[in-house]
A and B are shown apart, each in its own frame.
Chain A
Amino acid sequence: MAPKKSILPFVLIVLFALFLAIGINLGEVSSVLEKAIHVCLSCMGIG
């Protein structure tokens, strides 16, 4: 049986790589850092 090949995974890879690049370009990396370096009281269950 011939292996079933699909381009869909590669389309998704390109799409999400684009999302990632746009997110980085918009400065979302610093937003993630800003949240992560402070103690999250919600995560602890007290805030």
Chain B
Amino acid sequence: MLILRRWIQILATVLSNAYWKFPFTRGIYQGNLKAVCVPGLNCYSCPAATGSCPLGALQNFMATLRPRFGAGHTHFGLYVIGMLGLTGSLVGRMPCAWLCPFGFLQELIHKIPSPEFEIPKPLTYIKYILLGLFIFILPLLVVDEFGYGITWFCKHICPAGTLEAGIPLMLLKPELRELIGILFHSKLLILALFLAWMAVSRRPFCRVACPLGAIYSLFNKVSVFRMTHDPDKCTLCGACYRDCPMGVKFYEDANHYDCIRCLKCYQESCRFGAISYEVAGIPLLKALKRTAETDAPME
């Protein structure tokens, strides 16, 4: 399962960034595919990006809602909210584990041998503050004289934008370097801090600061796909927690808001058949089979 997930992560990263003409055109992809939001965090100004970032698109709807409304265009971002809600209702936070290029990068960097630091639980609530404040409230309420807001999360925080758009476009378009100021340097610092943090902690950006993960996490307990925990079989050995890329204690909450449904605990960690998953309340055949195997007497 881990190998399958790796291949799907690679495929999703490549498909989200499949415009390889950019070194020759020295610009970004401008085709119709950009009308579709990708399910993971992938900056639409990355020169290779083939789709839109749902967070960027959502902020832009909020930032332009007032002038659009004044001009008679009722654009509330329902297209993006619908897409995110539909995905979340089906699989919860699963795209973070399987489809998000930035999540994939974090897992790769965490493979660098380093001391391990756990992320304090209160920090994991910051992403909800960022979601409310930087994605909805500030773009909607802090506006210029024409009623236009700005994309606060993209502008001030998003390390994916700095890595995928800021640095490559600075290399491709030397004329943009004249515009570099304190904002660019502060974003570079944020990126550097997160990159360093990725080496010593498991998926710090996903757990602490990702508003997209925060949106998907709201669906973990109500999605069609759900994880299940059998307390009768669980020995509280903690293997699932040690292996979890998000530091989730599965035995405390099988559908914890930070669970990204990578299935590593189910496939590799638990030797007692205490972890399985269900679709629409129906346990999957494979999960039942695994439990039955574990039920067999040990020799």
A residues with CB within 8 A of B: 3-6, 8-10, 12-13, 15-24, 26-33, 35-37, 39-47
Closest 4 CB pairs of A and B: A23-B79, A20-B82, A16-B85, A19-B82
Residue from A4, A15, A35, A37 within 8 A of B60 (CB atoms): A35
State whether A45 touches B34 (Cβ < 8 A). Answer: no
State whether B86 touches A20 (Cβ < 8 A). Answer: yes
State whether B78 touches A33 (Cβ < 8 A). Answer: no
Across-interface contacts of B56 in A (CB, < 8 A)? 35-36, 40, 43
Residue from A13, A36, A43 within 8 A of B35 (CB atoms): A36
Residue of B nearest to A37 (CB): B30
Q: How many residues of B contact A (CB 8 A)?
A: 66
Across-interface contacts of B32 in A (CB, < 8 A)? 33
Residue of A nearest to B178 (CB): A46
A14 to B82, CA, bound (A): 10
Mask: chain B, 20-61; 1 = CB below 8 Å from A; 0 = not: 000000011111101101000001110000011100110011
Residues 156 to 176 of chain B near chain A (Cβ within 8 Å):
158, 161-162, 165-166, 169-170, 176
Across-interface contacts of B113 in A (CB, < 8 A)? none
Of the listed stretches B118-126, B193-201, B217-225, B242-250, name the one at the interface; the rest are far from the partner chain.
B217-225
A34 to B61, CA, bound (A): 12
Of the listed stretches B9-17, B233-241, B276-284, name the one at the interface; the rest are far from the partner chain.
B276-284
Across-interface contacts of B44 in A (CB, < 8 A)? 35-36, 40, 43
